[in-house]
Amino acid sequence: IGIFTLLSGIVGVSNIMLITVKERTREFGIRKALGAKPFSILWLIIVESVTITTLFGYIGMVAGIGVTEWMNSAFGSQTMDAGMFQQTMFSNPTVDLGIAVQATLTLIIAGTLAGFFPAKKAVSISPIEALRAD
């Protein structure tokens, strides 16, 4: 489930970045006409993609931790009778720091991948074509 969620997030951010590149085609054309290096345009789009991915990834992580804490306070003391034994539901849920660091690195890699292909498209546009675009 987590892999498919991550893949759908990459596709979503990539689509957003493709729309951003299309809307800012004139800007990229002007930057190229004024002498901007292709790497600067590539870097601009990738940084924007990583920022979007990381920001909303952290919002999702905080929301997930909040829901987990809410479930602990609402249902943490309930016990379930499984016949031969009883088990406490949602007993002290925690998020490991190592998992949070891995999630952060995964978000950064996913943001880079989501922004790379739209960035390559922006870099490949010639300045003349970009300035003609509406």
Q: Give per-residue pLDDT as tens, 18-27.
A: 898 888 888 8
Q: Residue 11 phi/psi, 5° resolution?
A: -65, -40
38 within 8 A of 123, measured Cβ to Cβ: yes
What was the pLDDT predicted at 39? 92
**Mean pLDDT of all residues in the chain?**
83
Q: Give per-residue pLDDT as tens, 22-65.
A: 888 888 888 988 998 989 989 998 888 888 888 888 888 888 88
Mean pLDDT to the nearest integer, 64-90 = 77
Q: Is residue 102 part of a domain?
A: yes
What was the pLDDT predicted at 43? 92
Helix/strand/coil for 92: coil
Q: In what helix (H) or strand (E) does residue 12 lie, and over which residues does it extend?
A: helix 2-23
Contacts 24+ apart (CB under 8 A), 19-28: 20/45, 20/48, 20/118, 21/45, 21/118, 21/119, 21/121, 21/122, 24/122, 25/122, 25/125, 25/130, 25/133, 26/130, 26/131, 26/133, 28/122, 28/125, 28/130
Q: Is residue 80 part of a domain?
A: no
Q: Is residue 82 part of a domain?
A: no
Q: Is residue 34 part of a domain?
A: yes
14 closest CA partner among 108, 116, 103: 116
Q: Is residue 83 part of a domain?
A: no
**How many domains would you assign to the chain?**
1
What was the pLDDT predicted at 134? 63
The residue segments making up the domain with residue 62 are 2-74+88-132
Q: In the predicted model, is pLDDT for residue 12 greater than 80?
A: yes
Q: In the predicted model, is pLDDT for residue 83 greater than 80?
A: no
